[in-house]
Amino acid sequence: MFRGYFNAKVDEKGRVSVPAKFRDGFEKTGSNEVCITNFKVDGYNCLDVYPQARWLELEERLRQQTERSPRVIKFFQNYYFPGVQECQLDRQGRVLVCNRLREYAGLGREVVFTGISDKLRIYSQENWDAVFAEGEASLPDDPDVVSMLGF
C-alpha cells in the first residue's frame, strides 16, 4: 500500500503534508484517521504512521497473543502504544504532529516519509540519511539477504 520515500516540510504549526502518493493509500482504507507513534530504527528516532484501521488490528493481534515474551509485551505496553497520537488528515492532506513526537524524532523543517508496506515512517533528513546508509552498507556484508528474495 505504501512504497517509496518523499521529502516534505513541517510548517510553523507542526503540520506536515503527507505526500499525495501516500494519501492515496489512506483513501483506500476509507478513512483519513491516522495513528502516529514513536519508533527507533538502527538507533535513530523516527515516527511510525498507521491508518487507524491498521493500528486497531495491531492492538487486537497483541491482545490475542498472550504467549509473547515479556520483553515484546513490555515494548508494546510501555513504549509503542502509549506514544500514539490519533489525528486526521485535513482537507489539504496535512497531519498535525504534536510537539512531543516531533521532538522525539528530532523533526525540524525538512522531513522524509518512507513507505513500509502497511505503514509510513517519518524521519528527520539527518536520521533518514543515516538509516539509509546503514541499510546500504548491510547489503554487501550479507549477500543472503538478496538471494533470499530471489535476486
CATH top-level class of 5-148? alpha beta
Q: What is the pLDDT of residues 31-73, one digit of tens each?
A: 889 999 999 999 999 999 999 999 999 999 888 876 778 888 8
> Rounded to whole angstroms, how far apart are CA atoms 20 and 10?
15
Closest C-alpha among 21, 25, 33, 11 to residue 109: 11
Is the Cβ–Cβ distance between 127 and 45 less than 8 Å?
yes
Q: How many other CB atoms sit within 10 Å of the CB of residue 145?
A: 12
> Rounded to whole angstroms, how far apart are CA atoms 60 and 102?
27
Which tops the pLDDT comparison, 2 or 65? 2
Q: What is the pLDDT of residues 18-34, one digit of tens each?
A: 999 888 888 888 788 99
Beta strands in the chain, from DSSP E residues, in sequence order: 5-9, 15-17, 33-41, 44-51, 85-88, 94-96, 110-116, 119-124
Tell me the three state secondary structure of residue 17.
strand
The model's pTM? 0.89
Give yes or no for residue 140 having a pLDDT over 90.
no
